[in-house]
Every structure is written in C-alpha cells, then in structure tokens.
C-alpha cells in the first residue's frame, strides 16, 4: 500500500460513513411533510407560514419563545402543533390548519 492510499482511504471511509446520517430523515417526518404539502396544494389548509403569522406574535407577546424547528402536522385532525417555551417550561399549541384558530394547549 503506497503512501497516498494510506492517507486517502481512511478519509474516504470516514466521509462515506457520515453521509447517510446527514442525509437520512425519519420516514414518518417525510410522510408528515408530504401530507401537509399535499393538503396545502389542494387548498384544504393554510400554509404553515400563514398559521405562524397569526399565532406566533400573539403568543410571543405573553413572553414565550417560538421553537421554530418543531412544528408538526396532524393530517387526521387537520391541526398544526406549534412548540413554545416560556422560562423553563415548554408547551404546545394546536392550531386548526383550515382557519388558524387555536384548538388546544398542552404542557403548560
């Protein structure tokens, strides 16, 4: 084995081992995103951006912080679940995806 192979081979193995972990996304998360996209495309629900523009300012006015990386879409209930934090407490607000109205809270 020459010097070049000894240097490049470990690097190639290390890089290829990291690619699936970065590119992989849980199947249920991809399905959830597809369901939300299809419902939005068909005009059945409002966009997440529109929902956020309605709900987030109102909740942030109470001193909460919106945790943007965590919205979920429940196709069965047609609800977006938005995650917030106030001080050390995390809570979720369920929002009707058809009209932007709050339909529930949990984890206060």
Q: Where are the domains of the chain?
A: 3-106
Cα torsion 85, 86, 89, 93: sign: negative
pLDDT, one tens digit per residue, over 20-73 is: 444 455 676 667 667 766 766 676 789 999 999 999 999 999 999 999 888 898
Tens-digit pLDDT profile for residues 68-96: 888 898 889 999 999 999 999 999 999 99
Q: Are 80 and 98 in contact (CB under 8 A)?
A: no
Distances (CA, A) of 39 to 8, 50, 58, 60: 48, 14, 25, 27
């Amino acid at each position: 084995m020459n010097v070049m192979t000894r240097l490049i081979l470990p690097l190639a193995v290390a890089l290829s081992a990291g690619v699936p972990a970065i590119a992989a996304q849980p199947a249920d998360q991809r399905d959830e995103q597809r369901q939300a996209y299809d419902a939005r495309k068909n005009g059945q629900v409002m966009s997440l951006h529109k929902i956020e523009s309605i709900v987030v300012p109102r909740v942030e006015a109470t001193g909460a912080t919106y945790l943007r990386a965590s919205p979920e879409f429940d196709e069965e209930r047609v609800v977006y679940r938005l995650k917030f934090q106030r001080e050390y407490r995390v809570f979720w607000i369920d929002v009707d995806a058809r009209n932007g109205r709050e339909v529930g809270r949990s984890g206060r």
